[in-house]
Chains A and B, each alone.
Chain A
Amino acid sequence: EAGVAQSPRYKIIEKRQSVAFWCNPISGHATLYWYQQILGQGPKLLIQFQNNGVVDDSQLPKDRFSAERLKGVDSTLKIQPAKLEDSAVYLCATNKWTASYEQYFGPGTRLTVT
């Protein structure tokens, strides 16, 4: 079974530029999460999808971050415009259904904003 795929793996941009990250979940996994992990901290939930609907986006900075999950499969997370404090690893995780607690993480995208 293929794992969660993410791209790009690394991205360097200047502040005020825009960037997009992509996540492809494990086949059949209905729930998809985006987490932000700043160096030295644990991952923090940004947004949670169940199929193509948003379950929780309470911690997503909506003035600059947006996310979508078209057709309930792949997902993209966008930042526009980026700030220095957005430098972090962006992790995508999925599980089969909401009540299945085991989440499988992708390799992450390391974003550096200069």
Chain B
Amino acid sequence: QKEVEQNSGPLSVPEGAIASLNCTYSDRVSQSFFWYRQYSGKSPELIMSIYSNGDKEDGRFTAQLNKASQYVSLLIRDSQPSDSATYLCAVINSGYALNFGKGTSLLVTP
């Protein structure tokens, strides 16, 4: 089973700060990467996808991919208390299903 590793946290940041979430993966041939947000008691919600090396920005979210280092990150600018959730990193496997990390718990404090 190919591994997707995340620091479980919790990561605590003050409101308005930048939250940085990191993920590493073991399958060197992986091509597609995703960040899902999961609120407590809810199902995962896709917030970002990234397929090419570099940065991809969408509103307050920036996903960064470095395939050589097998590293994916998610930056959340101007963090809000409503961003408090678990963030799941996921990698598409060879059968097009998602291989998830354990998730990083983010707490944004007012």
Contacts and interface: CB of A to CB of B under 8 A. Distances in A.
A106 B99 contact: no
B98 A103 contact: yes
Contact of B96 (A35, A44, A98): A98
A40 B49 contact: no
Contact residues on B (Cβ < 8 Å of other chain), bracket: 20 to 34
Contact of A101 (B8, B32, B42, B43): B32
Give chain B's interface secondary structure class. loop
Given A91-B43, A105-B44, A105-B45, A40 B95 contact: no
Contacts of A106: 43
Given A91-B43, A101-B34, A106-B43, A48 B97 contact: yes
Contacts of B25: none
Interface stretch (B52-60, B61-69, B76-84, B100-108): B100-108
B49 A102 contact: yes
Interface string A87-114: 0000101000011011101111000000
A50 to B, nearest CB: 9
A44 B3 CA distance: 12
Interface of A: 31, 33, 35, 40-45, 48, 55-56, 59, 91, 93, 98-99, 101-103, 105-108
Interface of B: 1, 4, 8, 32, 34, 42-46, 49, 88, 90, 92-93, 95-103
